[in-house]
Structure 1
Amino acid sequence: MASAAPLTKTNAGFVLDMLKKLRGEDKKENVLFCPVSLSAGLAMVLMGAKGNTAKQISEVLQLTETQPKSLSATPLQSLLKTRTEARTQVHTQIKMQIQQRSMVPSYLSKVLKSKTDNDAEQTDKGDEETPKGGPETGKDEAQNGSDAAQTSQGDAQAAGEVSQTEKDEAPAAQDDVHAKLSELLSPFFKDDAPFGLSVANRLYGEKSCEFIEGFSEETKKLYNAELEPVDFKGNAETERVNINSWVEKQTQDKIKNLLAEGSLISTTKLMLINAVYFKNLWEKKFEVEETETEFKITATDTRRVKMMHQKSSFRLAPIPEARCKIMNMPCSLADVSMVIILPDELTGLEELENQLTPDKFEKWTSRALETEVVEVAGEVRLPRFLMEKTYSLGDALKSLGVADAFDDTKSDFSGLSPQKGVVLSGVVHKVSLEVDESGGEAAAASSSPAGESAAEAFTADHPFLFFMQHKPTKTVLLAGRYSSPE
């Protein structure tokens, strides 16, 4: 799908995969996480990973395109081709393998205006100009049989060339991915960034692992996060207290006691800490309703909540094929809005989640931003809420495909330490989101003709999905599921 936005199929795939994984089997479970912060943290881990460990992390983050299962010519194809044709094909395959294994996803390339598309066009042009026949083409079958045997030897040699070339090209390819990913993510984490995120993102490592000099400086430059050597082996409890104090300071004293007593032990090697606080401010202030409203968790389970409302013009996109509607509510922060996906039916959230794919997610969220969507004057009613969620993401990441990083017999973190057995001991992710009536200017007053009441255009009084989104790039800052008031 052609799009200039970063939130394309691959990026949406990571968001939806994690959203469903964190929900689990509990249909009433609230979910809240920060995709940009979690991506930056895992990308920092990826910088120190090599081999299959790096491959698994990259695939879960969906930073690389899936390559075909086999690019090798079959025996029949080798027999039917002349030596020149076969060897031309092998070299083309080598080029394709290198390109696909180091390919930066389209959502990164396009949003950053990279030259990937132009390079691909030049590659295609070069392939078209490659001669399809050679001086051997008119020879008899006996000669062709000899050519086939030579081709097999050439293929074997070329296979070795592929392996060596991959080794030579891999560091440059990974550097390219990190450069582009950093350009996309880093603006959200700068100290003066106008996006309202207070972030604590750091990789802590046992100091005896002898970390490679310069690694921390590079992660700081790319992701505004760093590796800090600590003494897990000799003083894990003191380090836990220090980490909690640092997180509290970084999140405006909102996230306290992130790590529970005993969560760090003497054998801890690497611990990724990722905590985010976000206080939402609307572009136009809401009014709080005096009486509470019943929020319908299920057909038989309700809970009374404080609702807030405003009468104004807003962008509402009905999605009839999914029996839901999407509303885009502007925030006061730079180009940030809350996108809410509300099922039409009271119990429709599970059905909506089951049919939500990356393609549909991109398509539907785009509808709420398209110029042809009519701005409708009506009343918006939302619950006020403070949501906090803490996750130990080890099991979730393993089930998504990141297995080797947590296994000391398979992990390869030779990019950050020369020692064997350096392993990711844990990933802790906590997000705190405050949504209330606070905002900038008051919403303009509106009135209805005599005898008529204002149209209630959007009432979120049953479970819904929400995404805090950077509108120009469609980057998801926060993603959540509100299904059970706390």
Structure 2
Amino acid sequence: VTGSSQGTVVQLGCSLFVDAGVQLSPDFAERATRWANSSLLQTNLTDTNTTHIQEWITTDLADGDVRGMTLESTGSSLSQVTLVSTLYFRSMWQKKFSLMDSQMLPFTTPEGLTLKVPTMHHTAEVNYGQFQTAALEAFSVVELPYLGEKLSMFLVLPSHKRTPLSQIESHLSAKTITLWANSLKRTKMDIFLPRFGIQSFFDLKTALSALGIRDAFDPITANFKGISEQDSLYISEAIHKAEIEVTEDGTKASGATAMVLLKRSRTPIFKADRPFTFFLRQANTGSVLFIG
């Protein structure tokens, strides 16, 4: 599923890889090929050296623009079915940061270590707000729109250096994100943002098991008769990997607490010189595509 608008590309890819020895239910095979424009591919999954999945990621997604995106797996010679879902995002800022204004500035890590990092800067009129949690921990939110203004990056920064980012992150929810987005006001301000890139790898098996999805991972209790009559199918692993890169030009990426809007006391400077949270949000649906 691809969406492109004024230099913005959002692409979702889905593929189901099935070992050649697995006999699929005809009904499931038909449904799988229709689901989210996905593809159903048979390959030799029992060969741990097979590169078909990685080849699909690097050639089918974003016209091969994710050359560095690799999906590590602990797959074994017992693998029979692998579902791969990928989301790709690339866009330019509505107002680019000037490369000439970037400089090496201090950034304080969560451990208290101060490093000099490449930091982007520009002065722009953006949506901005100051909030506080029920525990009176103050923080700022700024919205940096991408070209076309259908998607934006939101940056969340504790107002005081003594406030751990975790105290703000604990309040993150779809409801609070919508509240923040609807409460921001147009403000002309100086923005300092580190140039950064992040790679994250998640074991979804642990997360899904915590949500109560356990039988699917159990070789004894798993029941996938709707996929195949073979009684040995179960999910051995569920993994997710995300990558994001933020530069002067834009972004490339491959995831009941009271909030009170505070009055501004002066012309604000948003300086992300310490840990902050970001998320990419679609304006018309409120969907969060990436968060970190």
- TM-score normalised by L of structure 1: 0.50
Residue 58 of structure 2 is matched in structure 1 by: 248
Mean CA deviation greater in 466-475 or 374-383: 374-383
Q: Distance in 1 between matches of 2:164 and 2:226?
A: 46
Residue 328 of structure 1 is matched in structure 2 by: 143
Structure 1 residue 270: Cα displacement: 2.4
- Kept in 2, the 8 Å contact 1:255–1:277? The answer is no
Correspondence for 1:472 among 284, 287, 290: 284
Amino acid of the structure 2 residue aligned with 1:202: S
Amino acid of the structure 1 residue aligned with 2:279: F
Residue 265 of structure 1 is matched in structure 2 by: 76
Distance 1:389 1:276, change over 3 A: farther
Structure 1 residue 310: Cα displacement: 1.6
**Superposed CA offset, 1:416-474 (max 9, x none):** 222222112222322221211115xxxxxxxxxxxxxx945311111111111110110
Q: Distance in 1 between matches of 2:224 and 2:35?
A: 18
Amino acid of the structure 1 residue aligned with 2:57: V
Amino acid of the structure 2 residue aligned with 1:324: F
Distance 1:280 1:302, change over 3 A: farther
Q: Distance in 1 between matches of 2:200 and 2:67?
A: 11
Residue 338 of structure 1 is matched in structure 2 by: 153
Q: Distance in 1 between matches of 2:179 and 2:205?
A: 31
Which secondary structure does the structure 2 equivalent of 1:300 belong to?
A: coil
Matched, 1:420 2:231: yes
Equivalenced residues, count: 268
**Superposed CA offset, 1:40-60 (max 9, x none):** xxxxxxxxxxxxxxxxxxxxx
Distance 1:303 1:201, change over 3 A: farther
- Kept in 2, the 8 Å contact 1:337–1:470? The answer is yes
Residue 362 of structure 1 is matched in structure 2 by: 178
Correspondence for 1:225 among 27, 38, 44: 38
Q: Distance in 2 between matches of 1:344 and 1:275?
A: 35
Matched, 1:308 2:125: no
Structure 1 residue 367: Cα displacement: 2.2
Structure 1 residue 376: Cα displacement: 0.9
Residue 207 of structure 2 is matched in structure 1 by: 396
Amino acid of the structure 2 residue aligned with 1:424: I
Runs of 5+ unmatched residues, structure 1: 1-188, 369-373, 440-453, 481-486
Structure 1 residue 298: Cα displacement: 3.3
Correspondence for 1:407 among 206, 209, 218: 218
Distance 1:257 1:340, change over 3 A: closer
Q: Distance in 2 between matches of 1:276 and 1:389?
A: 14
Distance 1:206 1:381, change over 3 A: same
For 1:24-39, list aligned pairs within 5 A: none
Q: Distance in 2 between matches of 1:257 and 1:466?
A: 21
Residue 262 of structure 2 is matched in structure 1 by: none
Q: Distance in 1 between matches of 2:30 and 2:145?
A: 37
Structure 1 residue 357: Cα displacement: 4.4
Amino acid of the structure 2 residue aligned with 1:365: A
Which secondary structure does the structure 2 equivalent of 1:258 belong to?
A: coil
**Superposed CA offset, 1:23-73 (max 9, x none):** xxxxxxxxxxxxxxxxxxxxxxxxxxxxxxxxxxxxxxxxxxxxxxxxxxx
Higher helix share: 1
Residue 438 of structure 1 is matched in structure 2 by: 249
Please give the root-mean-square deviation of Cα atoms over the aligned residues, in Å.
2.6
Distance 1:303 1:274, change over 3 A: farther
Larger radius of gyration: 1
Residue 260 of structure 2 is matched in structure 1 by: none
Distance 1:256 1:306, change over 3 A: closer
For 1:67-466, list aligned pairs within 5 A: 189-190=1-2, 192-194=3-5, 195-233=8-46, 235-238=47-50, 241-251=51-61, 252-256=64-68, 258-260=70-72, 263-288=74-99, 289-298=101-110, 300-321=112-133, 322-333=137-148, 335-346=150-161, 347-368=163-184, 374-438=185-249, 455-466=267-278
- TM-score normalised by L of structure 2: 0.81
- Kept in 2, the 8 Å contact 1:285–1:438? The answer is yes
Distance 1:377 1:259, change over 3 A: closer
Distance 1:337 1:399, change over 3 A: same
Structure 1 residue 316: Cα displacement: 0.5
Runs of 5+ unmatched residues, structure 2: 251-265
Structure 1 residue 390: Cα displacement: 2.8
Which secondary structure does the structure 2 equivalent of 1:351 belong to?
A: helix
Q: Distance in 2 between matches of 1:437 and 1:263?
A: 36
Identity %: 25
Distance 1:429 1:299, change over 3 A: closer
Distance 1:356 1:246, change over 3 A: closer
Which secondary structure does the structure 2 equivalent of 1:248 belong to?
A: helix
- Kept in 1, the 8 Å contact 2:14–2:36? The answer is no
Which secondary structure does the structure 2 equivalent of 1:394 belong to?
A: helix
Q: Distance in 2 between matches of 1:219 and 1:469?
A: 29
Q: Distance in 2 between matches of 1:259 and 1:335?
A: 29
Q: Distance in 1 between matches of 2:69 and 2:249?
A: 27
Distance 1:383 1:475, change over 3 A: same
